Amino acid sequence: MEQESLAKMIGILFMSRTYAHMAHLKTGSFAKHKALNGFYDSIVDLTDTLAETSQGIYGKMDIPFTDMKGDVSDPIGALESHLAMITNLNKRTEKAFIDNIVQEIQALYYQTLYLLKELD
C-alpha cells in the first residue's frame, strides 16, 4: 500500500470514529449504543498504530480530512460504506505488519457489524 492510500485510509478512519460516536449518542437501542461505543474506543488505538507505523516508514504524512459519510440513524449502512472505502484503498504491500494492522481494522468493522445486526 502506498503512502497516499495509507494517508487516505487514516483520514477515513478518523471520520468513521467520529461518525460512530455521533451514532452512539443518537441511538435508542442499548445494544447498538454499546456496539458503537466498543467500535469508537477500539478504532482510535488501531488508527493510531497504523498512522505511527506508516509514518515510521514514510515520514510525516499529509492525512486528508474526510467529510462525514453516512446517516447517524443507519450505523449498519454507514459502517459498511466506510469498510468498503477502506477495502478499496487496501493494497497488499511487502510489509506484512502494515497488512496485519489493516486486517485488524477490518476485523473490528466486521465484529461491530455483527453486533449491530444480530444483537439489537
pLDDT tens digits, residue range 103-118?
Answer: 999 999 999 999 999 9
Residue owning grid cell 510525516: 60
pLDDT tens digits, residue range 74-86?
Answer: 999 999 999 999 9
Least confident window among 35-39, 56-60, 86-90, 104-108: 86-90
> Which DSSP string corresponds to 53-118?
HHHHHH-S--PPP----S-TT-HHHHHHHHHHHHHHH----S-HHHHHHHHHHHHHHHHHHHHHHH
**Which residue, 68, 80, 75, is CA-closest to 106?**
80
Over residues 68-97, the mean pLDDT reads 89
Residue owning grid cell 506484512: 96
Over residues 28-38, the mean pLDDT reads 96
